[in-house]
Structure 1
Amino acid sequence: MSQHTDQRSQTKLVFYQTEHKTALEAFHLPDTQKQFTGMPKEMLQIALEDKHRFPVVIVANGNPVGFFVLYDGEERFEYSDHANSLVLRAFSINYYEQGNGYAKAALRQLKDFVELHFLEVEEIALAVNLQNPCARHVYLSCGFIDNGRTKMGRNGLQHILVMPMKTKRSCH
């Protein structure tokens, strides 16, 4: 049991570096999960060609175990009304690493990671497919909120979940 906890405590978020490429290309997800996310190899290629996409690797004990993209382009307004928002996209944990608590460990670090690297961000948003209740539960248990907003995705209806950041001072 303590080994399980130690593994999670060694989880960290880092921006993609070329040293992660081989592990991300070997990433495996079963078809039942692929329908809800993009594979790191493809998502990484898109991200490296788009200045609004920031690929992030979830590293545990020095090894890449997960991946996601933070996005600040115009499509973010499909997810959030905040001008200073980011969208969390293509979040996944390598199938062979699932069940070790890495997803929750990463999501619990997300707010601090974003506050450190994206100073003006007021909200992180994501879309999770209605047919993916396990993922929705994980996001909700790690600080995301469901305000009842939905959008149609490539594989059906999606819940829009948001994570508010630190309250910013305003003159309203």
Structure 2
Amino acid sequence: MDMELKPVNRKNWEEALAMQVSVQQQGFVPAVAVSLAKIYIKPDGDEVEYLPFAIYVGNRMVGFIMHAYEMNSSDMYWINGFLIDAGEQGKGYGKAALLQMITWIQSQFPPCEEIRLTVHKDNLIAKNLYSNLGFVETGNWFGDEEVMKLNVQSNQEVKRRGSDPLSQININRSSPEEALAVRTNLIQFNARFIAEDLQQNYEEINLHIKDEFGEIAGGINSVFCWNWIEVDILWIDDRYRGRGYGSRLLQEIETIAREKQCTFIKLNTFSFQAPAFYRKHGFQEITRIEDAPRGHQHYYFVKYLA
């Protein structure tokens, strides 16, 4: 089964809103709109994060599922708003999607020991599915919703699923939009661990010099991120090397780094480029990779600004 869980985003949210269960099931599960609203409203507390996913089989959306969690807990990992569209039920998609969600939670949150969900007291089909996957009653209720839990360490169905890597993931070449989604999600993940006053610190800082004819004679490209600047490129035209232009550009970046209260500047260079130049300007070698590219070395430098 070619099933995949994909984040709900600006491209597929309207299609996700159209996912709905049969009339008989509508009292058992919230509408997708209600689940998505939780991301903004945070009804379960400010510490709870919500991650909505659309369930795809091939290129066809067949359902919706959401993960809610509290970071660094062992048992506050919830599956919410789970539904398979009425027209797609009875095909085994529910079990497959739940197993993918459980496997994903385990892979993303190593502290997780227990996954929880709720099921309406009259939703016997869903309760039977959850029980078959190893969920057990906790004795706790939220209104008409019974809380069930899964011990992910001991559950045999999850262990069987985890032993078959091909059933867990589909690896494909990313489009520019999909690559951007990966980057965006990582940035959001990183933000949970970064001091609040640093989170907005991101800026490209690119400088250049021109000759008397207005042509680019050299430049430096860098990125200000959190509490450092990383130099990506420093280049001077061969005609102007040895005149101090490279030093001026590097010094200007250092001045900017100090103004932005950076702790350090980092960069990398090759043995056929300028390792000696950076050492002259106070950079320390932190490591090197041999034979990269073949016959040369790849150096990594840092300069602390304390």
TM over 0.5: yes
Q: TM-score w.r.t. structure 2 length?
A: 0.44
The offset of 1:97, in angstroms, is: 0.9
Q: Is the 8 A contact 2:67 2:79 kept in 1?
A: yes
> 2 CA distance for matches of 1:100 and 1:49?
34
Question: Counterpart of 1:41?
Answer: 33
**Which whole-Å deviations, capped at 9, do the CAs of 1:98-137 have from their partners, x for residues lacking one?**
1111101111222211012223222110111111111100
Residue number among 83, 88, 94 corresponding to 1:97 in the alignment = 88
Residue number among 18, 35, 55 corresponding to 1:26 in the alignment = 18
**Deviates further, 93-102 or 25-34:** 25-34
Question: Counterpart of 1:165?
Answer: 152
User: Which structure 2 residue ranges, 5 or more long, are not aligned?
Assistant: 43-47, 155-306
> 1 CA distance for matches of 2:113 and 2:134?
14
Question: Counterpart of 1:6?
Answer: none
Counterpart AA for 1:37: V
* Aligned-residue identity in percent: 23
The offset of 1:92, in angstroms, is: 0.5
Q: Is the 8 A contact 2:20 2:83 kept in 1?
A: no
The offset of 1:59, in angstroms, is: 1.2
SS in 2 for 1:52: strand
Q: Is the 8 A contact 2:19 2:64 kept in 1?
A: no
1:138 aligns with 2:129: yes
Question: Counterpart of 1:11?
Answer: 3
Residue number among 65, 77, 92 corresponding to 1:86 in the alignment = 77
Number of corresponding residues: 148
Q: Is the 8 A contact 2:74 2:111 kept in 1?
A: no
Counterpart AA for 1:92: L
Question: For residues 66-85 of structure 1, what are the structure 2 equivalents within 5 Å?
Answer: 66-73=63-70, 83-85=74-76
SS in 1 for 2:21: coil
Q: Is the 8 A contact 1:13 1:113 kept in 2?
A: no
> 1 CA distance for matches of 2:112 and 2:151?
9
The offset of 1:83, in angstroms, is: 4.5
Question: Counterpart of 1:52?
Answer: 49
Higher RCO by CA contacts (8 Å cutoff, separation 6 or greater):
1
Q: Is the 8 A contact 2:75 2:115 kept in 1?
A: no
RMSD: 2.3
* Bigger radius of gyration: 2
User: Which structure 1 residue ranges, 5 or more long, are not aligned?
Assistant: 1-8, 74-81, 168-172
